[in-house]
Amino acid sequence: MVMLAVLLAVLAGFVFVSVAFIYNTLIQLRFRVKNAWAQIDVQLKRRHDLIPNLVEVAKGYMKFEKETLENVIKARTQAAQASGIKDKQEAENFLTQTLKSLFAVVERYPDLKANQNMLKLQEELTTTENKIAFSRQFYNDEATQYNTAIHTFPTNAIAPMFNFRDELLFELSDMAEKEPPKVNF
């Protein structure tokens, strides 16, 4: 009888330690996902801060392109106010498209294209876009690791008890961006 009690106590202790270990691992993974998201936010903030300067430099040259400039500012405002991964993803993809249209318009203004402030801002924005891409990749890696952990055994038996849910991945919404670029010689 004593042996059975000891055996049950050891088994209960093992189960408790296992659950605690799995729980702590999931908490660590969840915080890594939150940190990765925060890194995206840092880069998006930098991007949002650069855009007004870019628009101001362009305004003097692009008197007839008011709609393009207004669309960029509108997209920036929407992106800055978006909350949640899905909303932010959609808003940021829209902002990316409006920036592409702005840079296409800039090509039609040789003086603006050669302006040192414009060149510097474009370079900073390009660098920021690269950092955003790397941050999104890092976030997706962390979210995938977390999602995999909550769906594999034995964690999948414990995760629902503590309300661990899948994290959304950052994905491209514009199917044209998924196509390989066409190169013509």
pLDDT tens digit string along 43-99?
999 999 988 888 888 877 776 677 888 888 899 999 999 988 888 888 988 998 888
Q: Say how many CA atoms lie within 13 Å of 71 toward its Cβ.
A: 15
Measure the CA–CA gap between 91 and 77, rounded to whole angstroms. 9
Measure the CA–CA gap between 52 and 17, rounded to whole angstroms. 54
CA-CA distances (angstroms) from residue 5 to 9, 12, 14, 19, 44?
A: 6, 10, 14, 21, 58
CA-CA distances (angstroms) from residue 123 to 103, 171, 183?
A: 12, 25, 24
Three-state DSSP at 168 gives coil
pLDDT tens digit string along 12-24?
999 999 999 999 9
Q: What confidence score (pLDDT) does residue 184 get? A: 43
Judge contact between 79 and 48, C-beta under 8 A.
yes
User: Taking the CB of residue 128, how many other CB atoms lie within 10 A of it?
Assistant: 19
Q: What confidence score (pLDDT) does residue 183 get? A: 39
pTM equals 0.76
Measure the CA–CA gap between 68 and 11, rounded to whole angstroms. 68
User: Per-residue confidence at 38, pLDDT binned at 50, 70, 90?
Assistant: very high
User: Which residues lie closer than 8 Å to 62 by C-beta, 6 or more apart?
Assistant: 68, 69, 105, 106, 109, 112
Judge contact between 93 and 173, C-beta under 8 A.
yes
Q: Which two tokens stand for residue 15?
A: 């189960």
Question: How many Å is the Cα radius of gyration of the chain?
Answer: 24
Residue pointed to by tokens 């829209």: 94
Closest by CA position to 109, among listed 162, 152, 57, 35: 57
pLDDT tens digit string along 115-170?
788 888 888 888 999 999 999 999 999 999 999 999 999 999 999 999 999 999 98
